[in-house]
Chains A and B, each alone.
Chain A
Amino acid sequence: MEHIAAVLVDGIIYSAWLFIAAVGMTLIYGVMKIVNITHGSFYALGAYAAASLTGAWLAHGYPPMLSYAVLLAAAVVVTLVFAPLIERGLLRFMYAKDEVVILLITYALFLILEDTIKLVWGVDPYFIAEPYGLLGSFDIGSLSYPTYNLILVGLALASGIGLAWLLNRTRTGKLLRAVIHDPQVSSAMGVNVDRFYLVTFTCGSMLAAVGGAFTAPTVSVVPGLGVEVVVLSFAVVVIGGLGSLPGAALGAVIVGLVRSISIHYMPQVELFVIYFVMALVLAFRPRGLFSLAEARKI
């Protein structure tokens, strides 16, 4: 019984982390039809900004409990510097291009940002371990888990529910859905599509940065941090159905649980279990688990 509880808790924690890391990608794809590789860069930028800002905060002896707010602030600030620059400065001129070409543009940007990060922060790792241990821990049977993991779960729920509310219950959400459905007509009806794209890109990137910022206390912040996240987010988002919010949540939960079960019972297969799930889902549901049928071109 205790073992099963551990499998579940581990799975849920990992799912929460995956969801935070991946949800921004599905948002940007859903609205702008961009498979955004710079997602990984923003994840890394968030982690680096959080590590240096929170590190400085703690070094000055400010109240450590507020360091969680600093993590969040760091992610917000760094996104506000880079995301509008990228969207206004480059991406908006490219929307007419093929989906794949835009993907490649974001890949080129990813390469550039990777080295930019290195130029700014160097190659040495950054650590901010303090926020991870600060809240103590809770026990499941004989296993103890840092309470910090509950913050991740809470953050995942908050961002998921918040986005769902925004999309389904507000005027902005309705307009946004109109933009998703048909940007040209929306534009003709007086919706400022440009602004929606800017805001969506910034929000999606910010979610990635928040994911990175809240991961920073549990890892060593080093170059190459963002690479793994790109493919992992891809997998989660694809399993759920590109552009679908509940899909991303379900994808994260499935991957999290399957991974946890494999680690506990069959550690040998962990390496490709996620891609196996992805291939399996795509083989039976070619557009992922949650997806709207797309109108066929005549």
Chain B
Amino acid sequence: MRHITQAFAVSLTAALTAAAFVPAAAHAQAIKIGVVTFLSGPAASPFGVPAKNAAELMIESLNAGKVPAPYATKGFGGTPVEAVIIDEAGSSTTQVTEFRNLVQRSNVDVVIGYVSSGNCLAVAPVAEELKKLTNFFDCGTPRIFEDGSYKYVFRTSPTATMDNVGAALYIKDIKPNLKTIAGINQNYAWGQDSWADFEASIKQLFPGVTVKTSQMPKLFAGQYNTEISTLLGENADVIHSSFFDGDLEALLLQGAPRGLFKKSMGVLTTGETAMHKLAAQIPDGTLLGARGPFGPYAPKNALNSWFVKGFEAKNKVPPNYASYQMTQAILGVKAAWEKAQAANGGKRPSNEQVAAALENLTFEGPGGTVRMAIGKGHQAIMETAYGMTKTVGGKITVTNVKRYAAEKVNPPEGVKSADWIKAGFK
């Protein structure tokens, strides 16, 4: 018995070691895309899995040549694409390790991924070191291209600055007599930055406004009764929240019976991910954001209606903004790849050539026009849209939608977003 167990343990270790050191297959014909997004943990359901589903749909449709114009060419410039999918959960050390493994062991040609801003910040310098084209599809912090300058790193989604400036502009349009604001945001970088941008923007637009309270509960705390009591007690005109996923859903579930967003107008900058699931808990007149012109705010065009139809047919739910952002990220790389391939005489372009083509590129996604206009041509800007919820016959819709042009809600090239807001959006 002892020998058998010993042998078993030894052979298990040996097998694992062998599996790890199998040399990667020689460069395959297909273009390999490393897709990194949350497959476990609380961020899997609102972001990770909808994004993964979008990636799978897009890769399948691209290889079949089924995507509408201007993306009708099969794969990337005629070459089929395949995905290597990795879980984003774990520390940034884990993510840096796995990024290196993707590039150096799995030999991917491009990496598209990362929801967490911390992971984006950690991976960016590594992508540069390894000279690997990397496109961040979701993470929000503007620090990536404000504090650093990269050749191989891109983000085809707008930053979080736009979400909060857009919300403030909308409030200016509909509530010119705003007196008081309050906030509840998660106590980590995303929540702190969102609140800082929102507070600064509101103070620019309404110089006399008072901040009643800013609640900062722990990330994934789940229990918000006490915070809700203080928010109800303060009775501010609007309550800002950048909560996402399970936390947002818990806040809505616990807030709805107590009339939280009925007394004060709710401003949910990422509320779109919860809108279909919790229609009953979101009162009419709540300001709902989708981090850009995505989901209910997406324009009506052939690409978008194809995308929504295809996504719903495959996944039984409509695509949320994470699905849009992933699609946009893939299409951006495809557009750049094909531009670079054309410039390269129809031959497979190098990473440097694709990166050069993606710089300052303008392309169409299902959410409309994307312009790589800031961060030295590496950071996208888009228009944004906000609207107020209205439940019609049990189905939640957005009304009174207002659109804000990209230049109105994003800083110009070379200006940091915090400075831009403080200078009165100039």
Contact = CB atoms under 8 A, between A and B. Distances in A.
Q: How large is the interface on A (under 10, 10 to 19, 20 to 34, 35 or more residues)?
A: 35 or more
A123 B39 contact: yes
A281 interface: no
A202 B218 CA distance: 31
B218 A270 contact: yes
A223 B225 contact: no
Contact of A144 (B213, B259, B278, B280): B259
A215 B222 contact: yes
A6 interface: yes
A268 B187 CA distance: 9
A224 B277 contact: no
A270 B253 contact: no
A127 B249 contact: yes
Contacts of A263: 215, 217, 226-227, 230
Contacts, number: 124
Given A14-B225, A123-B48, A264 B42 contact: no
A223 B280 contact: no
B216 interface: yes
Interface residues of B, number: 40
Contact of A123 (B44, B214, B227): B44
B196 to A, nearest CB: 14
A271 B216 CA distance: 8
Interface string A247-265: 0000000000001100110
A120 to B, nearest CB: 14
A218 B39 CA distance: 24
A223 B258 contact: no
Nearest to A11: B226
A154 interface: no
Q: Which label, helix, strand, loop or mixed, suits the secondary structure of the B interface? A: helix
B220 interface: yes
Nearest to B227: A263
Nearest to A267: B215
Nearest to B42: A224
Contact of A124 (B45, B217, B232): B45
A125 B249 contact: yes
Nearest to B263: A142
A220 interface: yes
A74 to B, nearest CB: 18
B346 interface: no
Interface string B57-96: 0000000000000000000000000000000000000000
Contact of B256 (A6, A133, A228): A133
Nearest to A259: B226
Nearest to B274: A220
Interface in B194-242: 213-218, 220-223, 225-227, 229-230, 232-233
A143 B263 CA distance: 11
Contact of A13 (B45, B215, B225): B225
B42 A219 contact: no
B225 A10 contact: yes
A113 to B, nearest CB: 13
B353 interface: no
A132 interface: yes
A3 B233 contact: yes
Contacts of A170: none
28 contacts: A9-B229, A10-B226, A10-B229, A13-B225, A14-B225, A17-B223, A123-B40, A125-B45, A127-B277, A129-B253, A129-B281, A133-B257, A137-B258, A142-B233, A144-B258, A217-B253, A218-B250, A219-B246, A219-B254, A222-B245, A223-B41, A224-B246, A225-B42, A263-B227, A263-B230, A267-B230, A268-B216, A270-B187
Given A218-B254, A264-B230, 17 more contacts: A3-B233, A14-B225, A123-B40, A123-B48, A125-B246, A129-B281, A133-B257, A143-B258, A145-B225, A219-B246, A220-B245, A223-B40, A223-B41, A225-B42, A264-B229, A270-B187, A270-B216
Interface of B: 39-42, 44-45, 48-49, 187, 213-218, 220-223, 225-227, 229-230, 232-233, 245-246, 249-250, 253-254, 256-259, 277-278, 280-281
